[in-house]
Chain A
Amino acid sequence: MKSARLLRGGVIWALLAMLLVWSLAPVAVMLFTSFKPGSDIYQVPVRLLPDTWTLENYRTVFTGSNMPTALWNSIVVGLLVSAATLIFCFSAGYALARFRFRAARPLALFILLGQVVPLTVVLLPLYQFVNAMNLLDTTIGVAFAHLAITVPLVTWMVRNQVAAIPIDLEEAAMIDGGSRFDAVTYVTLPICAPGLAAAGMFAFLQSWHEFLFASVMTSSTSARTAPVSLTEFAGEFSVDWGATMAASVVLTLPIVVLFVALQRYFVAGLTGGAVKG
């Protein structure tokens, strides 16, 4: 009996170890390649660790490319997208969860349709929309385009979170003399806070790594976001893999730090309302 349990535990740990290697191997290759000089990247036999450690690739990224500006642009766009997503989606999600009207359910499903339409399909209309507002080649224009990605799913996330909160709590606040707005700000919002933090982070993540819209909506280096700026390291005839990997590390690190810091809220927020709604 004990040996069977040990065997089962061993198999589970082995599977978990394989999953870990499968997941982390590309990250390890990215990280260590970023510290390799050009001659080490293609050495045979292949080695994970550099023979000679160098920061040259990072120097290229920070002093010989537009990546610093692009990273700043990505942060600006991400924050704008997060803020706008939360404002729009909380309003919409709350309305869908709390107000009874004939088209509530079809409308909710219609919003979700935005999530299943391929991005290439909405690219041209969005481009024309952003162009009509004269926002092409601006960080605000990119943020507008990214809202098309974040709004549908976040609206649903928020709707489910609000629906999971007993309406009795809001009614109690209103019986005590508060308005609906008071009930929302004093009761619903504090309860929803972890979920909203997760939704905001989700929106930020979506915006942070988005490539297609950002590559089409921006033309100058002053508005390019970091994923688009990564392509600068691929020339007409060659790819600077060392610099590409260093830039990828720079691009990944803030997100990993953010995720680790807010992991508790993220998981709680994503599962909030999962059993009722």
Chain B
Amino acid sequence: MDFTLSKEHEMARSLFREFAEKEVKPLAIEVDETEEFPVETVKKMAKAGFLGIPIPKEYGGQGCDVLTYAMCVEELAKVCGTTSIIVSAHTSLCCDPILTYGTEEQKQKYLPDLASGRKLGAFGLTEPGAGTDAQGQQTKAVLDGDEWVLNGSKIFITNGKQADVYIVIAVTGTVEKNGRKSKEISAFIVEKGTPGFTFGTKEKKMGIRGSSTYELIFTDCRIPKENLLGQKGKGFGIAMHTLDGGRIGVAAQALGIGEGALDRTVAYVKERKQFGRTIAQFQNTQFQLANMATQAQAAQLLVYRAARMKDQYAKDHKTSYSVEAAQAKLYAAEMAMDVTTKAVQLHGGYGYTREYEVERMMRDAKITEIYEGTSEVQRMVISGALLK
């Protein structure tokens, strides 16, 4: 078992770190305070190729592996949770399902613009009555001639108003299996600007406040028949598989937030003096830091393993990474929450102010336990595999 990274991955990490330090970190406080989407940073990331890392070159991407992508999200999250989730939602939740389930025409039409960052992607599954229970979908798509007509709404959509291309999950009918009726769910590609597609309210969030989180509203929204993604009736599987990949992105985000908080805390405790010595000299501080670093390291190994397994899936289309992605997200998210909370505590009163960024990191960490499957859902996925 080889735990060393290749030279390529090491150089990629140094690139992501340099970019994060120079371009992202200086704006992180402002992005949080103003709750403004970092448009210019996204343009710079597009130019640097960060919006198409695991997309093959033939579709305008960088042709790198999922591990490289996860490292990018991790390094961005060390300095700004908002910026990291923009990349993650775009890549894992929009580019990836098109790459995995799209027809050649759909890939040619959408991926070059998405992978180059000329366009941004988003994913709409959650509804007011359907979060963890994805079967509770109410949004409907009805085929009318050569067009699908969408009606309904999606909430909490990351990259909401800023995106150009949306993967939307909707009910296309009912199916009967073993005498029980259930909803037939399908996936669609919807473009911004389509008549009948509008935006509702912007969410006011606790953390990742610069990310654009909106309600998507579809009112007799007509999209071409060929915008069905994958087979009709396979939307639930597409959504679940997409979220398996998304969880690696969120796990990498959580990992980065935890590592970022740890880095700042290590620097702070060496400076801060109480009772005539630095607080780093107190055993309580040392033991807390030791725990935080060990948790972060364990999370990194889980995240990188899940990424590696998704890379294997890309080669053989067989390897399942669902459980590994769930474990990575569960552990990394809870690590991020725990480490950022301890980071605030070790910063004392200063940690509670917005001047010291661990306060923001603690707020940003919380969402990683909730979106793209709560920690409870991850436990369901993991235990489900154990008990089947």
Query: Are A and B part of the same complex?
Result: no
